[in-house]
Amino acid sequence: MKGVVFTGNRGLKLADFPDPSVGPREVVLEIKASGMCGSDLHIYRATGSQTALGFQAASPVVAGHEPCGVVAEVGEGVNPNEAKIGARVMVHHYSGCGLCPHCRTGWSQMCVEGSTVYGITGHGGHAPYMKVPASTLVPLPDDLSFETGAAISCGTGTAYGALRRIGLSGRDTIAIFGQGPVGLSATQFAVAMGARVIAADIGEERLALARRFGADATINAGGADPLGAIKDLTHGRGADLTLDTSGRPEGRLLAVRAARAWGTACFVGEGSNVTIDVSPDMLRKQLTIVASWTFSTVGQADCAQFVADRKIPVDDLFTERWRLEQADEAYKLFDTQTTGKGVFVM
Ligand SMILES: [Zn+2]
Ligand SMILES: [Zn+2]
């Protein structure tokens, strides 16, 4: 089979891989949709000597960490309730030792023995087939499309996990910095949870999407005074909750500064850094800063159920649908960070 491999410096190729075959406790999936996530850009852009987000693959791997499809082959020792041929499934895109406290609570990305991250250090979903341990599978509710399942497998699930971590409620005003795939998902969820949403980005196309998804106000963060604009919308106080999905120093600092006294700022964007003036920006405001990294297997299933129950239009995040053969064009466009989300469909 052919799979997409990132070669560094914004390069990729379709490389040959043997069709995967199952071992004990494993399944092979026929991939139906494989999403493009913002964190893929860190790997796509990495130069030869760089490690992307602290991960380094031993040998070239199939990219794509938002896999969704159907079970095509089941190995020995797999419980039939875990995986049946033809079952529609998402993948929790990590695997660990299975025994440590993190693995046992569904957080295998934090495994004390180290974790395989599918699409980054293990073969991912940008290929017709993918082999994973049966324990990584999360059922896809019947009402949800494969594309929606792909989004939930990283970007959309991450947005849901962050809003749950910071306890968003209908009485809150939340400012969300970055309206890429994670930020737009957060906007959809926060609206569905009844909150008042202020969406910020530097791109007008993305702000238009945020308005379509129900944001009460949008702010161009590249404008003259984005912090002042948020203060104006919040009676001079700042937002109850803020979320940075941009991963950029400016976005993080705005998230810290736009939060009100006793408020909470949450970081989910990956990479880069930030410098915070601790006394005025944190101490004097009694600020809480929460870091939220993706979600557990249980959190992924909860997110999918919420999307199904509340009929969240996750498919509307996708502005581009691609064939695997178009991967080069697909990532070149995604790299501009001006569009919605892209997905490979098979
Ligand atoms: Zn473990
Ligand atoms: Zn991701």
Residue 224, pLDDT above cutoff 80: yes
Residue 49, pLDDT above cutoff 90: no
pLDDT on residue 131? 98
**Nearest-ligand number for the alpha carbon of 268:** 2
What phi and psi values does residue 297 have, to the nearest 5 degrees? -60, -40
pTM score, two decimals?
Answer: 0.96
What's the gap in Å between 181 CA and the centre of ligand 2?
Answer: 10
What's the gap in Å between 36 CA and the centre of ligand 2?
Answer: 8
Residue 51, pLDDT above cutoff 80: no
Count of CB atoms situated within 10 Å of the CB of 263: 24
Q: Are 311 and 189 in contact (CB under 8 A)?
A: no
pLDDT on residue 239? 98
pLDDT tens digit string along 260-278?
A: 999 999 999 998 999 999 9
What gap in Å lies between CA 341 and CA 182, rounded to an integer? 9
Query: Residue range 12-33: average pLDDT?
Result: 97
Residue 48, pLDDT above cutoff 70: no
**Nearest-ligand number for the alpha carbon of 111:** 1
CB < 8 Å & 24+ apart, contacts of 17-20: 17/62, 17/123, 17/127, 19/129, 20/123, 20/129, 20/130, 20/131
pLDDT on residue 247? 96
What phi and psi values does residue 224 have, to the nearest 5 degrees? -65, -45
Count of CB atoms situated within 10 Å of the CB of 67: 31
What's the gap in Å between 65 CA and the centre of ligand 2?
Answer: 6
pLDDT tens digit string along 134-188?
A: 999 999 999 999 999 999 999 999 999 999 999 999 999 999 999 999 999 999 9
Count of CB atoms situated within 10 Å of the CB of 84: 14
Query: Residue range 88-103: average pLDDT?
Result: 98
Question: Confidence band (pLDDT; 50, 70, 90) for 47?
Answer: confident
What's the gap in Å between 333 CA and the centre of ligand 2?
Answer: 17
What's the gap in Å between 337 CA and the centre of ligand 2?
Answer: 15
Average pLDDT, the chain: 96
